[in-house]
Amino acid sequence: MLSKEVIIKNKAGLQSKTAAVFIHKANNFKSSIWIEKDERKANGKSLLGLLSLGIGTDSKVMITADGEDEDLALQVLEEYLTTETEEE
């Protein structure tokens, strides 16, 4: 299991469209993916779970990947969350 704390740089945060893209990326991996914000944890492959965390731009979150491809999963998902974009 690997975890990393990151700061969300997407201008829209992790709202419906950006959360859907995150889930699409997460579903490419066999590993379990979890996102934690303010001591609340959600499945990184669940739209409702991610939206329930209310993750906005500049939010600090912990990403956890657990499984056979956890290294690559964490790398790809961290890159997506920390890249500044204008997606809404």
**DSSP label at residue 63:** E
Question: Residue 9: inside a domain, yes or no?
Answer: yes
Question: Residue 53: inside a domain, yes or no?
Answer: yes
User: What pLDDT is stored for residue 87 in this prediction?
Assistant: 56
pTM to 2 decimal places? 0.91
Question: Residue 48: inside a domain, yes or no?
Answer: yes
Question: Residue 69: inside a domain, yes or no?
Answer: yes
Which CATH number goes with the domain that contains 74?
3.30.1340.10
Structural domain count of the chain: 1
Per-residue pLDDT of the chain (88 residues; tens, 9 = 90+): 999 999 999 888 999 999 999 999 999 999 999 999 999 999 999 999 999 999 999 999 999 999 999 999 999 999 999 988 765 5
C-alpha to C-alpha distance for 74 and 81, rounded to whole angstroms: 11
Q: Computed from CA positions of residues 17, 19, 22, 26, in that sequence, does the dihedral angle turn out positive or negative?
A: negative
Question: Residue 88: inside a domain, yes or no?
Answer: no
Q: Domain range spanning residue 14?
A: 2-82
